[in-house]
C-alpha cells in the first residue's frame, strides 16, 4: 500500500513547484506580448535565473525518496484499482519528470533558457530583415543543445529526434510519425491536386478595411459563446498567436490584419480551442499529471477541431454571419454569403504554414518533419537549411518561397528551441477528425446546435472525454478509448474529402 502522507507531501511539493513554473511561463508570455525592444537581454537573464531555480526544485533528492517509497507501495499492491488510476497517474508523471530533469544540470537548463530567449529576439530580427545569417548561429547552438539534451537523458545519437517528439507527445517516436505521415501522403497529395486543379477559385481578396476594434469585439463574443471563461483568462496580441498559462489563468494571443479578418478569426478560435482544453483540466489537481494536457497532438486536436470542424462549417456561419455583418455592415455590403463561405473554405497553395488552409496545412508539417529528421541525423546542416527548405517546399507543396521570411524563417518554433513540435499539428488534425466522427455518432444533430449559437453539448463532450482526464491516458490510448479506433490518417482524409470535394467540383 502507498503511504497517504508521502503522497500528500509529493502532491503539495509538485503544486509548489508548478507555481514557480507558471511564474516562469508568465515571463515568457510577457516577453512575447509586452517586452520593450531593448529589454530582451534582461529578460533572458531573468528567465535563466528562474529556470535554474525551477530545475533545482524539480530535482530535489526528497522527490526521489518519496517516489521510491510510493512505487514500492504500488509494487506490493496487485490490485491497481485499490490505488486508483488518479494516484497512479500522479506518481507515473512525477517519476517521468523527475527522471528526465535529474539528468540535466541546472546550468544546462539556465544556459538553454537564456539561449532560447536570445534566439527568439535574433529570429524576430532575422525574419524582419530576411537575413538567415542573423539567426543561423543561434539555431546552430540550439540544435547542438537539443542533441546534447537527448544524450543526457539517455537517448542515442540515432534516436535523438525521438526524444524531442516524445517531449511533446509522450510515447510517440519519429518512426511512428514517419509511417503515419507516409500513409497520409498517399491520399493527401492526390486530394490536394484535385482541389488545386479545380476550376473553382475562391476569391480571398474581398476583405478591405476591417477595423481592429470590431474584429476584437466580434471575436470576444465568439470566444465567450464557445465557452472560454474570461474571468480566468485573457487574449492579447503577439507576432505569432499562442496560448500559454493554465486553467487558473489562461493567456491566449492573436493578431489582427485589417484587410483579412479571417486571419484573426481562425487564429483566435484556434487558440480558444487550446484555452478550452486548459480550462477544462481539473483545476484542483493543477501541478500534477491529472491536470496536464496529454501532449501537444491532443492539444492541437482541440484547437484544430474548434478552428476547422466547427468554425468552417455552414451551420457555424448560419449563426455568426449576421453578427459579423452587424459588426461590419459597410465592409461586407458587397460580399455575398456565398463569397464569404467560399473564402472561409478557400484552399490554395501558399509557402507559409500559418496562412495555409486545413487541407494543404498538412503538407507544411510533412516538410518540417522531413527537415528536422535530417537536421538531427546530420544529413542536413544549419547552413544548408535555407536551400533545403526551398527545395522541399517546391517538391512537397509545389511552391518555392520567394524569400527567407516565406521560407525557413517563417516559424517561431525553432527560435524557442522547440524541435519535434511540428508533427503534433498534423497528428492533431488526425485526432480532431477522429474525435469529430465520434461526436457525430453520439450527437448526429450537433450541427444544429452551432446554427443556434450553442456549443455546450460539444464542449461538455470534450470535457468529459478528453479534458477532465488529464494525463490518465496517453495519446494513442485515449484516441483508441474515445473513438474506438487507432490513430490514423483515415478520418482526416474522409473529413477533408467530405468537406472540400463538394466545394471544389
User: Could you confirm whether 370 is annotated as catalytic?
Assistant: no
407 φ/ψ angles, rounded to the nearest 5 degrees: -110, -125
CA-to-CA distance for 321 and 257, rounded, in angstroms? 19
Q: How far is CA 251 from CA 236, 244, 357, 381, in A?
A: 8, 5, 25, 36
**Catalytic: which of 271, 300, 307, 406?**
271
Buried b (16+ CB within 10 A) or exposed e, 25-35: bebbbebbbeb
CA dihedral 252→253→257→260, nearest 10 degrees, is: -30
Cell numbers at 449, concatenated: 446546435
Cell of 481: 478509448
Interaction of residue 50 with its own copies, rule CB under 8 A: yes
Residue 397: all three cell numbers together: 507543396
Angstrom distance (rounded) from CA 242 to CA 204: 24
Minimum CB–partner distance for residue 461 and its own copies (Å): 24
Choose which of 42, 62, 201, 452 interacts with its own copies (CB under 8 A).
42
- Asked if 41 touches its own copies (CB under 8 A), the answer is yes
Task: Report the residue from 10, 11, 32, 46 that binds its own copies according to the rule CB under 8 A.
Answer: 46
Q: Are 335 and 262 in contact (CB under 8 A)?
A: no
All three cell numbers of 158, joined, read 540515432
Among 3, 6, 9, 27, binds its own copies (CB under 8 A): 27
Contacting residue, 99, 249, 339, 454, with its own copies by CB under 8 A: 249
| Segment near its own copies (CB under 8 A); pick from 39-47, 189-197, 346-354, 393-401 | 39-47
Residues 6+ apart with CB under 8 A from 197: none
Task: State in angstroms the smallest separation of the CB of 95 from its own copies.
Answer: 22
Which residue stretches of 169-231 are H helix? Answer: 174-197, 212-226
Minimum gap (Å) between residue 246 Cβ and its own copies: 8
Applying CB under 8 A, which of residues 4, 5, 37, 284 lies at the interface with its own copies? 37
CA end-to-end span of the chain, whole Å? 64
For position 125 contacting its own copies by CB under 8 A, the verdict is no
Per-residue CA distances from 111 to 6, 55, 154, 365 (Å): 33, 12, 20, 29
> Count of residues binding its own copies (CB under 8 A)?
36
Could you tell me which stretch among 16-24, 119-127, 255-263, 438-446 binds its own copies (CB under 8 A)?
A: 16-24
Tell me: does residue 35 bind its own copies (CB under 8 A): yes
Q: How far is the CB of 161 from its own copies (least distance, A)?
A: 33
Cβ-Cβ contacts under 8 Å for 480 (sequence gap 6 or more): 486, 487
Q: How many Cβ atoms from other residues are within 10 Å of residue 502's Cβ?
A: 8
Nearest residue (CB) to its own copies, 246 versus 472: 246
Enumerate residues 6+ apart whose C-beta is below 8 A from 26: 245, 251
C-beta of 19 vs 208, nearer to its own copies: 19
Side-chain half-sphere CA neighbours of 390 within 13 A: 10
Kindly indicate which of the ranges 165-173, 243-251, 424-432, 491-499 contains the residues binding its own copies, using the contact rule CB under 8 A.
243-251
The smaller minimum CB distance to its own copies, of residues 23 and 224, is found at 23
CB 108 within 8 A of CB 149: yes
Residue 490 binds its own copies (CB under 8 A): no
Rounded to the nearest whole angstrom, what is the least distance from the CB of residue 36 to its own copies in the complex?
5
CB-based contact 438:461 (threshold 8 Å): no
Residue 234 as a binder of its own copies (CB under 8 A): the answer is yes
Q: Does 39 bind its own copies (CB under 8 A)?
A: yes
CA distance linking residue 86 with residue 27, whole number of Å: 31
Restricted to residues 163-202, the positions that interact with its own copies (CB under 8 A) are none
Among 75, 78, 231, 330, binds its own copies (CB under 8 A): 231
62 scored as a contact of its own copies (CB under 8 A): no
Among 248, 258, 335, 349, binds its own copies (CB under 8 A): 248
Q: Name the one range near its own copies by CB under 8 A: 33-41, 162-170, 292-300, 420-428.
A: 33-41
Let me know: does 94 contact 470? Beta carbons within 8 Å: no
- Of 3, 45, 348, 490, the one binding its own copies by CB under 8 A: 45
Please identify, among the stretches 17-25, 124-132, 386-394, 472-480, the one whose residues bind its own copies according to the rule CB under 8 A: 17-25
> By the criterion CB under 8 A, which residues form the site for its own copies?
16-17, 19-20, 22-24, 26-27, 30, 34-39, 41-43, 45-50, 53, 57, 229-234, 246, 248-249
> Which residue numbers are catalytic?
271
Amino acid at each position: 500500500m502507498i503511504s497517504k502522507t508521502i503522497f500528500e507531501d509529493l502532491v503539495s511539493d509538485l503544486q509548489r513547484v508548478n507555481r514557480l513554473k507558471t511564474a516562469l511561463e508568465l515571463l515568457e508570455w510577457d516577453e512575447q506580448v509586452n517586452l520593450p525592444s531593448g529589454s530582451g537581454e534582461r529578460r533572458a537573464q531573468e528567465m535563466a535565473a528562474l529556470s535554474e531555480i525551477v530545475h533545482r526544485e524539480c530535482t530535489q533528492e526528497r522527490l526521489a525518496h518519496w517516489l521510491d517509497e510510493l512505487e514500492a507501495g504500488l509494487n506490493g499492491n496487485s490490485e491497481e484499482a485499490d490505488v486508483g488510476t488518479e494516484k497512479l497517474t500522479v506518481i507515473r508523471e512525477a517519476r517521468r519528470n523527475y527522471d528526465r530533469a535529474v539528468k540535466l544540470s541546472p546550468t544546462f537548463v539556465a544556459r538553454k533558457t537564456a539561449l532560447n530567449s536570445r534566439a527568439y529576439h535574433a529570429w524576430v530580427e532575422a525574419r524582419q530583415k530576411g537575413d538567415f545569417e542573423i539567426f543561423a548561429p543561434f539555431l546552430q547552438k540550439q540544435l547542438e543543445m537539443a542533441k546534447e539534451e537527448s544524450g543526457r537523458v539517455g537517448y542515442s545519437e540515432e534516436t535523438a529526434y525521438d526524444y524531442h517528439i516524445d517531449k511533446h507527445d509522450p510515447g510517440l517516436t519519429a518512426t511512428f510519425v514517419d509511417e503515419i505521415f507516409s500513409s497520409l501522403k498517399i491520399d493527401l497529395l492526390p486530394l490536394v491536386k484535385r482541389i488545386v486543379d479545380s476550376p473553382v477559385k475562391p476569391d480571398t481578396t474581398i476583405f478591405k478595411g476591417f477595423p481592429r476594434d470590431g474584429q476584437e469585439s466580434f471575436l470576444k463574443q465568439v470566444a465567450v459563446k464557445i465557452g472560454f471563461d474570461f474571468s480566468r483568462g485573457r487574449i492579447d496580441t503577439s507576432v505569432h498567436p499562442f496560448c500559454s498559462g493554465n486553467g487558473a489563468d489562461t493567456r491566449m494571443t492573436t493578431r489582427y490584419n485589417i484587410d483579412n479578418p479571417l486571419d484573426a478569426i481562425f487564429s483566435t478560435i484556434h487558440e480558444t480551442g487550446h484555452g478550452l482544453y486548459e480550462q477544462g483540466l481539473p483545476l484542483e489537481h493543477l501541478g500534477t499529471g491529472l491536470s496536464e494536457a496529454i501532449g501537444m497532438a491532443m492539444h492541437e486536436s482541440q484547437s484544430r477541431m474548434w478552428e476547422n470542424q466547427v468554425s468552417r462549417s455552414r451551420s457555424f456561419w448560419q449563426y455568426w454571419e449576421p453578427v459579423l455583418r452587424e459588426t461590419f455592415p459597410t465592409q461586407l455590403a458587397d460580399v455575398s454569403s456565398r463569397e464569404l463561405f467560399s473564402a472561409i473554405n478557400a484552399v490554395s497553395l501558399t509557402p507559409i504554414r500559418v496562412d495555409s488552409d486545413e487541407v494543404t496545412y498538412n503538407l507544411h508539417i510533412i516538410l518540417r518533419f522531413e527537415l528536422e529528421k535530417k537536421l538531427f541525423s546530420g544529413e542536413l546542416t544549419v547552413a544548408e537549411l535555407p536551400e533545403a527548405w526551398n527545395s522541399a517546399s517546391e517538391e512537397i507543396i509545389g511552391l518555392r518561397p520567394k524569400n527567407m521570411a516565406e521560407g525557413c524563417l517563417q516559424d517561431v518554433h525553432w527560435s524557442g528551441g522547440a524541435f519535434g513540435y511540428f508533427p503534433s499539428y498534423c497528428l492533431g488534425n488526425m485526432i480532431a477528425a477522429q474525435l469529430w466522427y465520434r461526436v457525430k455518432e453520439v450527437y448526429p444533430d450537433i450541427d444544429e446546435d452551432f446554427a443556434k449559437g450553442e456549443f455546450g453539448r460539444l464542449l461538455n463532450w470534450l470535457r468529459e472525454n478528453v479534458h477532465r482526464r488529464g494525463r490518465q491516458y496517453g495519446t494513442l490510448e485515449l484516441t483508441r478509448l474515445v473513438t474506438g479506433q487507432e490513430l490514423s490518417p483515415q478520418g482526416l482524409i474522409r473529413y477533408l474529402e467530405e468537406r472540400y470535394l463538394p466545394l471544389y467540383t
